[in-house]
Amino acid sequence: MLLRLAFKSLVSRLLTVSLTVFAIALSVALFLGVEKVRTGAKTSFADTISGADLIVGARSGGVQLLLYSVFRVGNATNNVTWQSYQDIAAHKDVDWIVPLSLGDSHKGFRVLGTTAAFFDRYKYRGGRDVSFAEGQAFDDLFDAVVGADVAAELGYALGDEIVVAHGVASFTEHDDKPFTISGVLQKTGTPVDRTVFVSLEAIEAIHIDWQGGGRSQNTISADEVRQMELTPKAVTAALVGVSSRLKIFGVQRWVNDYAEEPLLAILPGVALSELWSLIGVAETALVGVSVMVVVTALLGMVAMIFSGLNERRREMALLRAIGARPRTIFGLLTLEAALMSLVAVFLGVALLYTGLFVARSYVDAAFGLYLEITWPSAREYLVLAVVVAAGTLVSLIPALRAYFMSLADGMQVRS
């Protein structure tokens, strides 16, 4: 009986009730959306590199090594000599190794010297391969492959010529040895998108006639350098794959104890977790903002109920006249708020999943952020239950006021 009465009362005020329910639904969708983006970002971040078992570089901090080798942020404290690199590659438990040579740039984007094996060995998002949107890996000495963001922001296409600058923030360019774009990579949502890739030999070639940060007097042309020995003297870091998961810690310990020079081997997943913990403040801020939005919407519902109390005084008087007790009035308003909160929760979930279906492919292509569409987690179900409970609880304030109003109106003697 009370449920039917509450339903009819809500229908009679359909416009204001609908607006309030929609506001709460939007706040619920926003809260759950932030949760989906948060978990999606964390997963994508953790899957920035998933194919390598170890990252090896000069001894420094684990997060620092991860930042400059994977995210192209900062610079190495030192390089790894070519002899040390070969020793690691020759270790009996090392299955494969890919060198990384950093230090140059192109119009604000980092240039990475490596081998064609990088495009086969680098994995992201749980094992996805790096693929080419067009073209292929470098074949000629002065071929270059550009990431999706580099191509998009600078308007590059296959066959375009580019010039690499010496250093990260330098106006000195290797303009006597230009590169030709041989490939453009698909969007990955990782630092690969903002990287220019050249061969390890090319890095050696453009620096062969440089001394002390500048070009020497005896310049060597691009044609001449092709005839020269271009074995590198050092690399910045290396991605390492181990033959067996059981051997990872053994190889890591061997690298960290390497006697010829101080080296550091890190597990990418562990270093990524450490890095995420450092930037987790933004995650907390996002959750806090979405919570405040939900609270604001619930307060809006309370305001709506309060504003309608005087207008509904006649309705309550009629209910009292036909025998309704003050606690019935109290229960009616509380039940109305609970119904509004429940409908808002269902509508908010529907809005969220509709938005996910529509925007997921765009978000993945534009930002490399994979938003997985799954049933709500236990935490999300708990959040939805809390929203319904909170909506019911905050309605107790106007419901108590209605209770005392109906009680006072019932005691008045009317002539």
Give the pLDDT confidence of 255-308 residue by residue, as tens digits. Answer: 999 999 999 999 998 888 888 777 667 667 777 877 887 788 777 777 777 666
Of 37 and 120, the one with more pLDDT? 120
Q: Looking at residue 130, what is its pLDDT?
A: 92
For the record, the structure tokens of 307 come out as 């504003």
Q: Looking at residue 407, what is its pLDDT?
A: 55
Q: Looking at residue 132, what is its pLDDT?
A: 95
Of 209 and 191, the one with more pLDDT? 191
Q: Looking at residue 246, what is its pLDDT?
A: 92
Average the pLDDT over 114-132 and give the result. 90
pLDDT higher than threshold 80 for residue 310: no
Average the pLDDT over 376-385 and give the result. 83
Average the pLDDT over 358-382 and give the result. 75
pLDDT higher than threshold 50 for residue 410: no
Of 195 and 283, the one with more pLDDT? 195
- pLDDT tens-digit map of 59-100: 988 989 999 999 888 888 899 999 999 999 999 999 999 999
pLDDT higher than threshold 50 for residue 414: no
- pLDDT tens-digit map of 220-257: 888 888 888 899 999 999 999 999 999 999 999 999 99
Q: How confident is the model at residue 112 (pLDDT cuts 50, 70, 90)?
A: very high
Of 406 and 282, the one with more pLDDT? 282
Q: Looking at residue 262, what is its pLDDT?
A: 95
Q: Looking at residue 274, what is its pLDDT?
A: 83
Of 405 and 265, the one with more pLDDT? 265
pLDDT higher than threshold 90 for residue 379: no
Q: How confident is the model at residue 319 (pLDDT cuts 50, 70, 90)?
A: low
- pLDDT tens-digit map of 20-62: 888 888 888 888 888 787 777 777 777 788 889 999 999 988 9
Average the pLDDT over 156-179 and give the result. 86
Task: Give the rounded percent of residues in the chain with a pLDDT score beyond 90.
Answer: 38
Q: Looking at residue 41, what is its pLDDT?
A: 73
Across the chain, what does the average pLDDT equal? 83
Q: How many CB atoms lie within 10 A of CB 258?
A: 18
Q: Looking at residue 415, what is its pLDDT?
A: 41
